[in-house]
Structure formats: C-alpha cells, structure tokens
A = this chain, B = another copy of it.
C-alpha cells in the first residue's frame, strides 16, 4: 500500500523472531511463559504467540482482558491491582475464563471477599523496589491478612507472588539491571520458602522486559511475564535489552517542511501519533525518536545528532545536521523509531506489516 500519512509499520519477521527468542528462553529456563499483551494489544499478534505454544497471557486492564477473552484466550492475569469498582465486569469474565487478579491491599481483598461470585486466582503483588504498587516482601503481616481471606473463601484461590521490577527502566548500566533482578529473585524466593508449607503450589511470577531479555539466572522463578520485547523500542535499546535490529515497529511519516536556517525538518506526525515519552540524547536534550531515511531500497539509520526533538499535536520537528540535511525533501517519507512502543501503538490503533497485512488493536475494536 501507499503510505500518505503517519502510519505504524510492523516488521513481522523481527516481531516473530522476538517472540520465538523469548519463548525459547522461557522454555530453556523451565519457566511458564505468560507474555504481557499490553504492548501489542492485537488479537492477530496474539495468534503469533499461540503459534509458539503460548496458552496463557497477561493484560493490564479488565477491558483488555475482555478483548482477548473474546478472541479465544481462556487463561488471563490482569496485572493491575484490582479496581473494586469493576467487580461486575470481573464476575462476568471470571464466569467464562480462568481469571487471575492482582491484589496488594486488604481493603480490596475485603471487597473481593464480599462480592466475588466465581473462582478467581489471586496473585499478591510484591514491591521489590519499583515503589509503584505492591507489598514490601518484609511486610509479611500484610501478606498474611490477604492470605487469611483466601483461606476462608474458596472463590479466592491464592496462586502466588507477582512482581514487576520496573525500576530496571531507570538504570544506566546492564550491571544495575542484574543487581535489581537478583535482589528481586532473593525477595521472591524468600517469600516462596516462607509460604510454601501452607501453599505448596504457589508460584513466583516476574519478568519486566529488561530483566527477561538480559538476565540468565531465574532460580526459584516459575513464570515469566515480559511484554515490550514483542517490539522493543529506543528505551529498551538504551537499557541494553535489545539491538536496533530487534526493534520491530516504526512510524512512517511524510516530510512537510524544511528549515535549513535552524537545521530543522518538519514531519506530519506528532504527539497524537508517537506520544510524548522521551529519553535524554547525547546533547542533554529530549529525544522522542530516531530517524531512518530511505534512499532507493536502502534504509539508513541516522546518527544521534539527527533526532525527533519536539512535537505538537500533529507536527514533529526533526533536528538534522548540515551533513544529512540534503537527504530530506518535502513529500518524502521518513521512519521514526519510537522511544516507547507501547504508547505509540496505543495511539495509532492499527498496524501495517511489512508483509502487507493490516492488523487491528483493541483501540479499534468496537465493544
């Protein structure tokens, strides 16, 4: 197809390779692979996971769980602490599939105890240092309070401990990622040995994309839940989780203006296409995307002095060196590698693949 406006293009081959690599790694480490689907949000891409044997998934909302349940997924963990206000939707979903919920406080557990009508699995969220949500591994009294309710209500089946070591995203070296991961392992293993007397089948679930991509030691872990690896992005590249060749998506945008006097090229493609997540560039400024230019059939990744430096709603501003300025002309298409693929995909709502397929996401689903 002819691209004439900002369009999300997925390199299917790269994506399939990312999926297979992570599935193989989980298998080699004897881990149950429950990939997070919040990055791709697409029923079709879900099928590519089924092709490598995936049967259970993670999602980030009840809404997303409903979408994938409608597309045949029967075993879903919602990895956002339960929102008690959604109890009706939770009950309706739990009646149809094997649903696991995430709990991190007794107040929510009391609500679930009162209103849950079908069996659900309960994961207790452990905060291993990210400090977003979860119970500190040392606060066993809080864990005990939740487990007490589980032990009294047969619809609330304790499954195990789940953590998202999202503080790996704030690291500057791979060594820090190893440290965070090892610290999380120790905390989760400590809980496992403390509680498995009473709950012999409890599992330990973890797997942020940086740790899942880089680390090799998963002793004591039972389940791996990475999500972003399906596409990766500039943030992951910066962390060392992937190479440029592993980044599977690009936003293809038309060039609409050139301003040589300030070394800028304007593209049609802005905050409502790419999102405002940024990393710090070598010049200390915000970088919102890197640039690939097309010359004939060749694609050239420009160096870090050329980058998407600003955006408004529909405009993107590329800072371009004098040396590379000649590569840009009004009416050209350029490719932007996004900083945070999850947010770009969420904004765009559908993909074109390099194989010519059109894939949709939950954003375009009508339910």
Instruction: Report A's interface with B, CB cutoff 8 A.
Output: 2-5, 38, 60-63, 80-86, 88-89, 104-105, 107-108, 111, 131-133, 166, 254, 256-259, 262, 266, 268, 271-272, 275-277, 312-315, 317, 329-331, 333, 342-343, 346-347, 366
Contacts and interface: CB of A to CB of B under 8 A. Distances in A.
Contacts of A133: 256-257, 259, 266, 315
Given A80-B268, A271-B275, A313 B89 contact: no
A60 B131 CA distance: 40
B271 A85 contact: no
Given A80-B314, A80-B315, A256-B83, A107 B329 contact: yes
Contacts of A104: 257
A266 B4 contact: no
B313 A60 contact: yes
A331 B131 CA distance: 20
Number of copies: 2
21 contacts: A4-B86, A4-B89, A5-B61, A5-B63, A5-B83, A5-B86, A60-B313, A81-B266, A83-B268, A84-B254, A84-B331, A105-B257, A105-B330, A111-B330, A131-B259, A132-B266, A133-B256, A133-B257, A275-B275, A313-B342, A366-B366
A330 B276 contact: no
Contacts of A254: 83-86
Interface residues of chain A: helix, strand, loop or mixed (majority): mixed
Contacts of A366: 366
A170 to B, nearest CB: 11
Given A61-B314, A166-B312, 6 more contacts: A81-B256, A107-B330, A111-B330, A133-B315, A272-B343, A347-B347
